[in-house]
């Protein structure tokens, strides 16, 4: 048993980070009450990465992607589905919650875990247009899926992780797909030019057409959707899917006095300036002790690792121990056309790239170096090589934390 029966912990956010905080508190036998405000989606937590992969392709259903619950929640867990945190008074340790019937109430807490993640970036002018979709939630994915039977001519705008995966999945469903790439290569911001080129070739080999160096400046939806580009050209589509990145869900914290410069600012142990308010997942911005600079990581495994860590930090504080720093090396994967892309580390600030072949298929394997040290690695169908690099990066950087100034240059 940890904590006291009189204590209340509020967990804001009903996806992986929130789910993991709640299950960790339960696993530790937290004696107090947990109020879990799960957000507008109104669903039990599910695998978000599956949305743009297996779910769109019809290989799984909403039921089969639910996150497993190790054991039924105890009686002291109060789940508030459809409710959102709408405000925070950090000096009085209370959070304002708007319930589904729009009534509001303040809830006092002893600790607050902020796990409100991110939401799809949708420019105001593109919001709510018929035939235009973004993809963040199960409901978004099901709306897109409902349209697939008529094989709509589809344009995917944006070639980051979600845009590239959607182009691949929709093409795998037999749809005619055009991918709009703002730069010259898909996923270039994540992987750099070498893997970006490989990614582009895979799209072309699978029949996706691309429009490179193009920015959509306007969308009009009268019948088919018309897309206008920055060079004055235009095209039409039956369905448009926006993959324009994500913005943090922090607006409910506006004016609370905590650092909101990019997500919710935390120390190395994931505590905000108020040590009983912690953050985990896509929303958390912390200083990574190995990379030596602040970062926010929008990856699945980071959300669960940080949630476990945030609980550990809080427990350490309760027991008068020094909370540990969160030093996991970031990792993500992406599935496209039957290939698994994986990346470990953080390539920001790299000044050297090595490309070789690894794994089955002899696909490119890229290592990113800074100052002669490996800071990241990425490969295709090469899980062992990627995971070996994770251990190496951890060990290499452990001896040499780099200053923020180096990265700023
Ligand atoms: C389509 C898609 C595919 C992806 N694929 C991959 C992949 O292949 N690999 C990978 O590593 N990562 C992938 N990701 C990223 C991964 O899903 C995220 O990193 C992960 O979901 C982050 O979890 P989280 O709990 O921090 O936040 P989120 O998943 O963003 O969840 C935040 C939760 O908070 C709730 N919420 C928001 N505001 C409030 C509020 N005010 N009060 C209460 N609740 C609130 C939301 O409704 C939501 O339930 C993908 C993401 C998407 C959208």
Atom of ligand 1 nearest to the CA of 12: 43
Residue 13 Cα to ligand 1 midpoint, Å, equals 9
> Rounded to the nearest whole angstrom, what is the distance from the C-alpha of residue 17 to the centroid of ligand 1?
8
Neighbours of 6 (CB within 10 A): 9
Cα separation, 166 vs 262, whole angstroms: 26
Rounded to an integer, what is the distance from CA 206 to the centroid of its chain?
27
Tens of each residue's pLDDT in the chain, 409 residues: 788 889 999 999 999 999 999 999 999 999 999 999 999 998 999 999 999 999 999 999 999 999 998 888 889 999 999 999 999 999 999 999 999 999 999 999 999 999 999 999 999 999 999 999 999 999 999 999 999 999 999 999 999 999 999 999 999 999 999 999 999 999 999 999 999 999 999 999 999 999 999 999 999 988 899 999 999 999 999 999 999 999 999 999 999 999 999 999 999 999 999 999 999 999 999 999 999 899 999 999 999 999 999 999 999 999 999 999 999 999 999 999 999 999 999 988 889 999 998 777 889 999 999 888 899 999 999 999 999 999 999 888 887 545 344 333 3
Ligand 1 centroid to residue 280 C-alpha, Å: 11
Q: Give the residue whose CA is nearest to atom 51 of ligand 1.
A: 49
Q: Which atom of ligand 1 is nearest to the CA of 41?
A: 47
* Bridge partners (DSSP) listed for residue 354: 367
pTM: 0.95
The Å distance, Cα 127 to ligand 1 centre, comes to: 20
For each of the domains in the chain, give its residue range(s) and CATH number, in order of start.
Answer: 8-119+247-318 (3.50.50.60), 122-244 (3.50.50.60), 338-408 (3.30.390.30)
Helix pair 161-172, 193-205: axis angle to 10 deg: 20
Pocket test for ligand 1, best of 57, 112, 249, 310 (most atoms within 8 A of CB): 249
Alpha-carbon gap, residue 249 to 252, rounded angstroms: 8
Which residue has the least CA distance to atom 14 on ligand 1? 49
Q: Are 307 and 18 in contact (CB under 8 A)?
A: yes
Q: List residues near ligand 1 (CB under 6 A).
A: 12-18, 37, 39-41, 48-49, 51-52, 84-85, 115-118, 135-136, 162, 249, 252, 281-282, 298-300, 303, 332-334
Q: How far is the CA of 94 from the centre of ligand 1 (A)?
A: 24
| Among the listed residues 118, 85, 107, 102, the one whose alpha carbon sits nearest the alpha carbon of residue 33 | 107
Q: Which of 204, 203, 205, 208 is nearest to 336 (CA)?
A: 203
Task: Determine the distance separating the centroid of ligand 1 and the alpha carbon of 117, expressed in angstroms.
Answer: 5
């Amino acid at each position: 048993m940890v904590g006291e029966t009189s204590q209340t912990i509020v967990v804001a956010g009903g996806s992986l980070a929130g789910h993991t905080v709640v299950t960790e508190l339960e696993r530790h036998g937290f004696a107090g009450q947990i109020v879990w405000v799960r957000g507008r989606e109104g669903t039990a937590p599910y695998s978000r990465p599956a949305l743009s992969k297996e779910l769109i392709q019809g290989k799984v259903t909403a039921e089969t992607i639910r996150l497993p619950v190790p054991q039924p929640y105890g009686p002291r867990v109060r789940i508030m589905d459809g409710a959102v945190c709408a405000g925070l008074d950090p000096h009085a340790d209370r959070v304002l919650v708007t319930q589904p019937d729009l009534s509001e109430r303040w809830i006092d807490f002893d600790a607050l875990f902020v796990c409100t993640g991110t939401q799809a970036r949708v420019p105001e002018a593109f919001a709510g247009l018929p035939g235009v979709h973004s993809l963040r939630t199960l409901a978004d994915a099901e709306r897109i899926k409902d349209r697939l039977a008529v094989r709509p001519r589809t344009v995917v705008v944006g070639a980051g992780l979600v845009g590239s995966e959607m182009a691949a999945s929709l093409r795998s469903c037999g749809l005619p797909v055009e991918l709009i790439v703002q730069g010259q290569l898909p996923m270039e911001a994540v992987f750099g030019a070498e893997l970006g080129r490989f990614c582009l070739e895979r799209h072309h080999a699978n029949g996706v057409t691309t429009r490179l160096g193009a920015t959509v400046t306007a969308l009009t939806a009268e019948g088919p959707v018309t897309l206008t580009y920055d060079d004055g050209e235009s095209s039409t589509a039956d369905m448009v899917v926006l993959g324009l990145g994500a913005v943090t869900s922090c607006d409910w914290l506006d004016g609370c006095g905590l650092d909101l410069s990019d997500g919710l600012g935390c120390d190395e142990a994931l505590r905000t300036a108020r040590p009983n308010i912690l953050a985990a997942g896509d929303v958390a911005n912390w200083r990574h002790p190995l990379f030596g600079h602040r970062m926010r990581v929008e990856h699945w495994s980071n959300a669960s690792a940080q949630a476990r860590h945030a609980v550990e930090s809080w427990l350490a504080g309760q027991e008068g121990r020094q909370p540990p720093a969160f030093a996991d090396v970031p990792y993500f994967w992406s599935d496209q056309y039957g290939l698994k892309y994986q990346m470990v580390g953080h390539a920001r600030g790299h000044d050297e790239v090595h490309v070789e072949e690894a794994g089955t298929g002899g696909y490119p394997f890229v290592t990113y170096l800074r100052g002669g040290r490996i800071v990241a690695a990425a490969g295709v169908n090469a899980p062992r090589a990627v995971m070996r690099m994770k251990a190496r990066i951890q060990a290499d950087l452990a001896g040499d934390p780099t200053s923020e100034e180096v990265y700023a240059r």
